[in-house]
Structure 1
C-alpha cells in the first residue's frame, strides 16, 4: 500500500506565517511530501500565494490583491502578524525579510524545482475573482514554463469551482485535478459532474460530522484538508485517504512513523 502523503497547508503554517517562503522552506526541511497553496492574480498579472481577497488579516492592508500590483504587495510584511512580539525578543535571530514577503507562485515553483527531491505542489485557484478564467490560463502558462503541464507534472490543481477545474482540463488535460468539497450535501450533485479520475477533496470536519460521506467516496482518490490531530489522522487512515493536507507536517510525519 502506498504511504499516505503529507502535504503542508500553506507551508508549515502552525508555527510559521502562512504562504510565506519561510513557511514553505520549513515544510521542506521537515520532510513534507507536498506543499499546498492558494493563488490569486494581481492587477499586473502575477500569481501570488494568498488565501484572502485582501491582505488585511496577514499584512494589515485593506487593499484587495486583484487591484494591487506586485511591487506594492512586496512592500508588505505578511509574517509579523504570526508572532507580533518577536521584535521585543533581543535573543531572536535575525530573519531575512524576504522570507516574510508576499510570495509569487513562480518563486514557490522554483523553490520546489531546486529542492533536490521530489515534492508535489497542490495549487488551489480561488473563486470568485474579477479575473475569472484568466487565473487558470495564467496558471497553465506558468506550469508550461516549468515543463509541468503534462502527465509527469508534480502539480495538481484544486478548486471549489467545478468550472475552474473544467478550464484547467481543457488547457492541460493531463494535469491532475482535485474537486474540493465544502459541504457533504454538495457531493450527490458533484458526483454526477466530476470525472472518475478526478481526486476528491473533502474537509475533515465534513468527514467527521457526516460519516456517510466517507462511505460514498469509497473507491475514489481522496485528499483531505485540514488534518491536524491524531483522531483526524486515524479517521483518514480508516478511510484509505491518499493525502492529508496539514498545518503540522512534521507532527503528521512523526505520527505516521516517518
Structure 2
C-alpha cells in the first residue's frame, strides 16, 4: 500500500507549504498530494480553499488575486512564515526526489473552468513532463478528468467518488474513464466491495486513524492519502 502525504505533512507543518512537502518527502513514502487553483493572472497555485481565510486569516479569494498579492499572505505562523507555492515550485521540490510522485487535485467548480486543466498541461509540457509517470491527476469532476486525459494522453487519473453518488450511480459508471478510483475512508468502509472494483486501483482519503490505516491495508487499498504519513509508515511496517 502506497502512502501519500495529504497536502504535505500537514499534521506537523503548515499545509501545502514548502516545508510541509519537503518534510513529507524526507520520509520513505510514495509521494505527496496537493490541490490547485488558478489566479486571476493565470498562475497555477497550490491551495485547497477558495479563500485565504483558514490558512492565512485573510478574506482574499484565490481566483480574483494576482500571484504577487498572494505572495504577501503568510500560510504559516509568525514564528514559521510560509508562502503559497506555485505548481512549478512544487514540481521543483518533488522532482528533486527521483522516486517520489505528485498527485494534483483540480478544484472545481471555479470561475476559469477548463483553463485550469489547460494551464496544468501547459506547465507539464513546458517542463517535459507530459509522459512522466510520477505525475497523477485526481478530481471530483468527471469533466476535469476527461479534459486532462485529452490534453495529456496517458496521464494517470483518479476520479474521487462521492458517497452520495451511490443513489444515482449504483453500478459505478465512470464516464470520464479514469485509470483509478478514489473513495473516502468512510465510503470505503461502508461499501468495501468498491475497493479494487472492476480491477481498478483504489485511492482512499483521508486516512488518519491507525485502525483505518490497518483496514485499508487489509482490504487491498493501493494508495492512501493521510495527514500522518509517519503514522501510516508504522502501520504498513507492522508497528
Q: C-alpha distance in 1, partners of 2:134/2:196?
A: 28
Q: Cα distance, 1:60 vs. partner?
A: 1.0
Q: Cα distance, 1:110 vs. partner?
A: 0.7
Q: C-alpha distance in 2, partners of 1:190/1:63?
A: 38
Aligned positions of 1:7-18 closer than 5 A = 7-18=4-15
Aligned positions of 1:66-145 closer than 5 A = 66-80=63-77, 87=79, 95=80, 97=81, 100-115=82-97, 117-145=98-126
* RMSD over aligned Cα atoms: 1.9
Instruction: Confirm whether residue 32 of structure 1 aligns to residue 12 of structure 2.
Output: no
Q: Equivalent residue for 2:226? A: 246
Q: Moved runs in structure 1, 4+ residues, more than 6 A?
A: none
Q: Secondary structure at the match of 1:30?
A: coil
Structure 1 residues 249 and 216 mapped into 2: Cα distance closer, same or farther (>3 Å)? closer
Aligned positions of 1:114-193 closer than 5 A = 114-115=96-97, 117-150=98-131, 152-183=132-163, 185-186=165-166, 188=170, 190-193=172-175
Q: Which runs of 5 or more structure 1 residues have no equivalent in the other structure?
A: 81-85, 88-94
Are the aligned partners of 2:142 and 2:159 in contact in 1 as well (CA < 8 Å)?
yes
Q: Equivalent residue for 1:64? A: 61
* Corresponding residue to 1:20 among 17, 21, 27: 17
Q: Cα distance, 1:239 vs. partner?
A: 2.2
Q: Cα distance, 1:70 vs. partner?
A: 0.5
Q: C-alpha distance in 2, partners of 1:147/1:242?
A: 27
Q: How many residue pairs are counted as aligned between the two chains?
A: 236
Q: Cα distance, 1:213 vs. partner?
A: 4.8
Q: Cα distance, 1:215 vs. partner?
A: 5.9
Structure 1 residues 212 and 255 mapped into 2: Cα distance closer, same or farther (>3 Å)? closer
Q: Deviations over 1:57-114 (max 9, x none)?
A: 101111210000011100010112xxxxx75xxxxxxx5x4xx111111100011122
Q: Which runs of 5 or more structure 2 residues have no equivalent in the other structure?
A: none
TM-score (norm 2): 0.92
Q: Equivalent residue for 1:51? A: 48
Instruction: Confirm whether residue 234 of structure 1 aligns to residue 189 of structure 2.
Output: no
* Corresponding residue to 2:38 among 35, 41, 60: 41
Q: Secondary structure at the match of 1:79?
A: coil
Are the aligned partners of 1:147 and 1:153 in contact in 2 as well (CA < 8 Å)?
no
Structure 1 residues 212 and 106 mapped into 2: Cα distance closer, same or farther (>3 Å)? same
Q: Deviations over 1:101-157 (max 9, x none)?
A: 111111000111223x3111000000000000000000011111222112x331110
